[in-house]
Structure 1
């Protein structure tokens, strides 16, 4: 069929059922666009389910690494990469034209915020534009990148339709938000339920059938916008509750009450309470960013998102609060402020036991320490060197230092920003007389607790 021939709805339904049968038979080549924290595990899941998979990324180094059977993401092992190539079903490439040979294309590209906290959809738009010359009739395109309600319908579809194909008739488009949690040992791509939304029944059928082959449970919803809103709601819920416990931390700290003790006691109630934990600020690609996608879109409907923005304000202030408290504690314990002090920051990744640096609050803490004229180093067992980032360029190339009793003793204070499990907190507390713990990482340290200050 010529790719510019537009079907009617009855023909589209018939084609859709035939495509669904092909999906169930694994006679369906899947293209994954973006081989990062979301796309690479997804590619592995499809390969393990018996699908031929094309992995596309504009970064040739990632393609080269995969061809060399090397992982560039810590929690994805070399064994997992080798499994990608078992049976010859996986092909990595940086040639976008190869996507034209796929039956389905799943887009897993970043959706950051601009410096003015407005949605940056440039990666989605550039991907769609690059795909247009290569789109074929009856392809399924699924967007997984987190974004505001309406993006799939209002931004992605019009670009794809430049091909001459018509969404819902001879081009099938859906949205299914990624729900990856890097480093979480309890969940993997297959076991995390998959929300799937589309604006027509055939696209919804195809997307749901495709994901049902690789995910234990799928959750179809009525539209792409409903699926987009689902992902934002999940992360706004977390952002608001984290803001609440961060504010409680500030209050209870002033009262001399341990917030972690309070939360541990409160969570013993079998109903009506869900534990969230404070920290030095939000990190990762989702929670610090996603709420502002809805805030931005809500303005179009003349709605002020007061609650969401207040939570964002509290969470954004946490690194500043931590450094202010560090200065106060330096004065209290050492009789001097941060000016000229030497501080060791524990952790550069945004959360424990991963090497993921996206939006890490540790980077902001380092910059704020520098602004207070403190000298600093960092230690992170998973981040040997700080890579280039858009907002923290001055930290690029800073290298992790080793932890020994002698090296720790050279610092005036240790600031724990990330609570990696494989850090010797007993050694830290024994070797430094001011340990500022933002994560309750030292909860099991028994000796020298008078040296520990939870903030």
Structure 2
């Protein structure tokens, strides 16, 4: 009796992805990984989430989400339906058909790429790699990382990309706090190492998101993400520089931008602030700066933009110092300051690379007594860069409390803040986000920075 001919490994994986019977592993359950895991579960895949933080995996296993973009109610539904489980045991990788890497890619102190999380994760996968795996990198990095860093680690055991397993890159495009777009509705750029890998990438993400945008190589996909973030970093630096120039001229940069935005072509509004925050824009452009040195090419725009944006906290503190001196005859070092907003952007709890940290540290270096209020961040968690601030709690925002400070410094313009109360109670307000003017609140004690 003839034995049935085994179905080729590629076709088996393609079919499992297409009919959504594949198991998807997501490594790194943060602001990128957890929304992706939820989207995959929502699409019908069985999902295993991996994270080295056992406190996170324990919470997720109980259906408790710590990411605003994923509601605990939804997560609990996926857990109870056995569509999602979380673990810190990487041995479960062998049961996954597709594995997506969503780990941090920070910069070193010398502004060089730190790919230790990517490399360490790749080694974990390599120990469990089997024929038929699809491995995808989503972590933002410089063009060439997937093929030059990830691929050699995975191939070290003898299996080959494009023959035994498949490899691809798809840049994350999460925007915390954006109610208009979510993981499934944001077009997804995908690229594979070879035609088969590309087909598998399209099958996986085509089942999860509304629109898939294939590009020719992983390096192109990596360059797409870098380009998006360079574009924002350079334009934000431009308006930050204009803010300083126009302020010296007595011109309100926000009024200028609002008026310029009425032009129906040739202008796109960007807004100034106290510095750049989030994981992407302050960090990712420098990945390209680092990589360009390999080709002996300068990145003058990117480096200049970085210098301007990094200098903004000092500029804001300088404006605060001048206003304290003029309005209260109080030296900066003798002042009590309330920083309004700790998160890096409005209406989220995400504190990654928040300029508020730079402002607090600068003020305390000058001798100020500094407290913060943030309706979305009750306590500063432990971070690698600001460990000495961990454990500090958000102060109450009452009229009596606000009146005790020499100044309120607006760093993040959350909608949940009672700006009228602050306007009525504060001695001095230095607003780096134009939050008060946008709400029609004005006064000699409210100044823009």
Q: Deviations over 1:131-185 (max 9, x none)?
A: 1121110100000000000100000000001222101111100000100011110
- 1:68 lines up with 2:62 in the alignment: yes
- 1:87 lines up with 2:81 in the alignment: yes
Contact 1:430–1:447 (8 Å) recurs in 2: no
Specify the alignment match of 1:325 in structure 2.
319
2:19 to 25, 41, 53: 25
Contact 1:75–1:354 (8 Å) recurs in 2: no
Q: Kindly state the Cα deviation for residue 14 of structure 1 after the two structures are TM-superposed.
A: 5.7
Specify the alignment match of 1:300 in structure 2.
294
Specify the alignment match of 2:215 in structure 1.
221
SS at match of 1:126: helix
1:35-434 to 2 correspondence within 5 Å?
35-434=29-428
SS at match of 2:156: helix
Moved more, 140-149 or 435-444: 435-444
Distance across 1 between alignment mates of 2:195 and 2:35: 28
SS at match of 2:435: coil
Question: Judging changes above 3 Å, is the alpha-carbon distance between structure 1 residues 264 and 448 closer, same or farther for their aligned structure 2 residues?
Answer: closer
Distance across 2 between alignment mates of 1:281 and 1:342: 22
SS at match of 1:53: strand
SS at match of 1:65: helix
SS at match of 1:204: helix
Distance across 1 between alignment mates of 2:83 and 2:187: 25
Distance across 2 between alignment mates of 1:63 and 1:382: 22
SS at match of 1:344: strand
Consecutive unaligned residues in structure 1, runs of 5 or more: 1-12
SS at match of 1:64: helix
Q: Kindly state the Cα deviation for residue 17 of structure 1 after the two structures are TM-superposed.
A: 3.6
Q: Kindly state the Cα deviation for residue 231 of structure 1 after the two structures are TM-superposed.
A: 0.2
Question: What's the TM-score once normalised by structure 1's chain length?
Answer: 0.95
Contact 2:402–2:425 (8 Å) recurs in 1: yes
Contact 1:281–1:319 (8 Å) recurs in 2: yes
Q: Kindly state the Cα deviation for residue 86 of structure 1 after the two structures are TM-superposed.
A: 4.3
Consecutive unaligned residues in structure 2, runs of 5 or more: 1-6
Contact 1:338–1:374 (8 Å) recurs in 2: yes
Question: Judging changes above 3 Å, is the alpha-carbon distance between structure 1 residues 318 and 387 closer, same or farther for their aligned structure 2 residues?
Answer: same
Contact 1:107–1:143 (8 Å) recurs in 2: yes
